[in-house]
Amino acid sequence: MKIENKIKDTVAEAIENLYGQKTDSNSVQINLTRKDQKGDFTVVVFPLLRISKKNPEETGKEIGAYLKENMTEIAEFEVIKGFLNLLLSHSYWINSLNEIKDVEEYGFTKTTEDSPLTMIEYSSPNTNKPLHLGHIRNNLLGYSLSRIVGSTGEKVVKTNIVNDRGIHICKSMLAWQKWGNGATPESTGKKGDHLVGDFYVKFDQEYKKEIAGLVASGLSGDEAEKQSKLMAEAREMLLKWEAKDPEVYELWKMMNDWVYKGFNETYKALGVDFDKIYYESETYSIGKEEVLRGLEEGLFYRKEDNSVWADLSAEGLDEKLLLRSDGTSVYMTQDIGTAKMRFNDYPIDKMVYVVGNEQIYHFKVLSLLLDKLGYKWGKDLVHFSYGMVELPEGKMKSREGTVVDADDLIAEMVNTAREMSKELGKLDGYTEEEAEKVYYTIAMGALKYFILKVDPRKNMTFNPKESIDFNGNTGPFIQYSYARIQSVLRKAKDKNITVPDVLNDSSELTEKEIQLLKMVMNFPNIVAEAGKVYSPAVIANYAYDLAKEFNQFYHEMPIVFEEDAKKREVRLVLSEKIGEIIRQSMWLLGINVPERM
């Protein structure tokens, strides 16, 4: 039983015995004691005064005395203005450490056959450009979320929907046809996704030139756009693709294959993966079928121009286009089709979409449409909405080629980690191969942690150099703290210091040790909270606080060189458990920790 529950039960028991009235223990209010007061847990006395018919001070003292007499875990109590502060005994903390010290994956809840299945969609790239900084935030959030949710006792399926069709894809294809001169990844030495992205930028450049020329000839901006031959060719190519024109289809397959190979390299570098990948080219036609089914069932309606719409005004929204007048689909159609495919593939209980906050309205509409079409999880789908990520220089635009590619950023991070590590002498004595592995681990830890420590809903600025600082709230600081703990444990082993299976519960603890134990005992609550609110930031900031607290402890007190054997044993076991929890916390964020740094 958790100590909080035991305190609540005993308070309820005290109320019955002292004041003759039964009370539901769940109604007892208990909090962590404020840091400026002495104690571990605080019982709020005010709601109990209507039962005791006494003042707060007297009620608190009577309940406190009862708790101390009936709970061996309570060493002292103090009443301050209607708040009963309880101080737990040192033996309680030692016994708590004994209970968890050998528990593997402490804080995680194992799945069972009956565990609900949550599907998490993230990444969702377009095959007309490489992954960029915005995609990095999406992938890291989605992957971390899958690990967190999976650690709270739910089954998880990680999925990706690749937007591999549409006008934006045709723009890259058309530009390659016109100006590519047969260029391939092999002939240019470029990753396929970068090469295709270059042609997307090229299309935009040529389109702007064409529009500027038409405007110079006397047309308005709107008229120029309507008369653009380049855009007309792109639209014609899209219609040919939908009609499975052999030449267009082969070009599409070839260029998409280049992009997929490039994406896979980037995913591998980021350390993310998927259980199932869906493609818009396969789901959009299923979405069209679902929309037509909805039309037959009277859920949707057709306008005079042959387009199909959903009227959501009764739900407080507006009308939503589902099929254009020429029968082509829109993003919403594709999402409906993807939902049907997923529903057929997996017994989904909850669906989580990791998509930027600019799509909030889209997912409100999708939720209603899926519910109307009979998908049981439609109404309760979760849009895990996150903010924009920028660099110190400002915003980025794909079509203008001002985006920071994920691959370039990863390479820059590794270079920065290498330079800073060499400057600080962190990896002296390592072989070049060993050092390179650690540079990569530090770089990816810095990148992932800096992005994941921020509340996902907020916009953020990513600063590469700031993220690799070995001091402060950074990934490398936490990684170094873990490596420091492993160094302590190796020293103990070298000195043949053995730790008993069970620690002696008569050991006296310092305030710092108790504070660390409180944080260790709170880890399961942290994991549960992160899963409940869908926030890797909860884990990230806990890991930093724990690492920071340990480092203060490390500098203030001897561990291996402590002469009192009982104190040394407690400190070694505590250090080892903290190391495990730091490793588990970082694992939840998709971050590796080096054994030496």
CATH of the domain at 566: 1.10.730.10
> Looking at residue 500, what is its pLDDT?
85
Q: What residues have CB less than 8 Å from 259, skipping those under 6 apart?
A: 127, 128, 130, 192, 193, 196
DSSP string, 386-447: E--EEBTTB---TTTT---BHHHHHHHHHHHHHHHHHHHTTTTT--HHHHHHHHHHHHHHHH
pLDDT at 260 over 70: yes
DSSP string, 233-296: HHHHHHHHHHTT-HHHHHHHHHHHHHHHHHHHHHHHHHT---SEEEEHHHHHHHHHHHHHHHHH
* Cα dihedral: 229, 224, 128, 400 (round 10): 130
> Looking at residue 31, what is its pLDDT?
92
From 88, 106, 126, give the residue that closes a domain. 88
**How many structural domains are present in the chain?**
2
- Per-residue pLDDT tens for 119-150? 999 999 999 999 998 899 999 999 999 999 99
How large is the average pLDDT for residues 189-205? 96
> Looking at residue 427, what is its pLDDT?
74
pLDDT at 506 over 90: no
**Helices (DSSP H) in 297-382: which residue ranges?**
331-345, 360-372
From 71, 88, 105, give the residue that closes a domain. 88
Residue 130 located in a structural domain: no
- What is the chain's length? 597
CA distance 564 to 584: 30
Structure tokens at 402: 């001002």
From 54, 88, 122, give the residue that closes a domain. 88
DSSP three-state, residue 143: helix
Residue 282 located in a structural domain: no
- Sign of the dihedral defined by the CA atoms of residues 438, 439, 444, 446, in that order: positive
> Looking at residue 302, what is its pLDDT?
96
Residue 67 located in a structural domain: yes
The secondary structure element, H or E, covering residue 204 is: helix 192-216
CA distance 510 to 516: 10
Range of the domain at 532: 406-588
Residue 476 located in a structural domain: yes
CATH for 52: 3.30.1360.70
Structure tokens at 74: 């309570």
pLDDT confidence band for 394 (50 / 70 / 90): low
- Per-residue pLDDT tens for 438-469? 999 999 999 999 999 999 999 998 888 888 88
Q: What is the DSSP letter of 54?
A: S
How large is the average pLDDT for residues 13-17? 96
> Looking at residue 1, what is its pLDDT?
54
- Per-residue pLDDT tens for 17-40? 999 999 999 999 999 899 889 999
- Per-residue pLDDT tens for 288-328? 999 999 999 999 999 999 999 999 999 999 999 999 998 88
CA distance 497 to 210: 78
Q: Are 126 and 169 in contact (CB under 8 A)?
A: yes
* CA distances, 367 to each of 165, 354, 377, 379 (Å): 23, 14, 9, 5
Burial class (CB in 10 A: 0-12, 13-18, 19+), 218: exposed
CA distance 242 to 219: 32
Residue 495 located in a structural domain: yes
Residue 525 located in a structural domain: yes
How large is the average pLDDT for residues 150-155? 97
Strand-pair partners of 351:
119
Burial class (CB in 10 A: 0-12, 13-18, 19+), 195: buried
CA distance 223 to 477: 57
pLDDT at 389 over 90: no
CA distance 321 to 325: 10
Q: Are 28 and 43 in contact (CB under 8 A)?
A: yes
> Looking at residue 462, what is its pLDDT?
85
Residue 319 located in a structural domain: no
- Per-residue pLDDT tens for 214-246? 999 999 999 999 999 999 999 999 989 989 999
* Tokens 């002495």 found at: 38
Q: In whole numbers, what is the pLDDT of the chain averaged over residues?
A: 93
Segment of 68-72, 133-137, 329-333 carrying the highest mean pLDDT: 68-72
pLDDT confidence band for 425 (50 / 70 / 90): confident
How large is the average pLDDT for residues 366-373? 95
Minimal CA–CA distance to 272: which of 67, 434, 444, 104?
A: 444
* Tokens 């109307």 found at: 372
Q: Are 535 and 386 in contact (CB under 8 A)?
A: no
Q: Are 470 and 439 in contact (CB under 8 A)?
A: no
Instruction: Supply φ then ψ for residue 52, to 5 degrees.
Output: -75, -25
Minimal CA–CA distance to 576: which of 512, 505, 492, 496?
A: 492
How large is the average pLDDT for residues 77-102? 95
pLDDT confidence band for 393 (50 / 70 / 90): low
- Sign of the dihedral defined by the CA atoms of residues 98, 99, 100, 103, in that order: positive
> Looking at residue 48, what is its pLDDT?
94
> Looking at residue 399, what is its pLDDT?
44
Q: Are 361 and 326 in contact (CB under 8 A)?
A: no
> Looking at residue 521, what is its pLDDT?
94
Structure tokens at 596: 């030496």
DSSP three-state, residue 545: helix
> Looking at residue 398, what is its pLDDT?
43
Percent pLDDT > 90 in the chain is 84
pLDDT confidence band for 2 (50 / 70 / 90): confident
Q: What is the DSSP letter of 329?
A: B
Strand 350-356 and strand 155-162: the pairing is unpaired
Residue 49 located in a structural domain: yes
pTM, to two decimals: 0.91
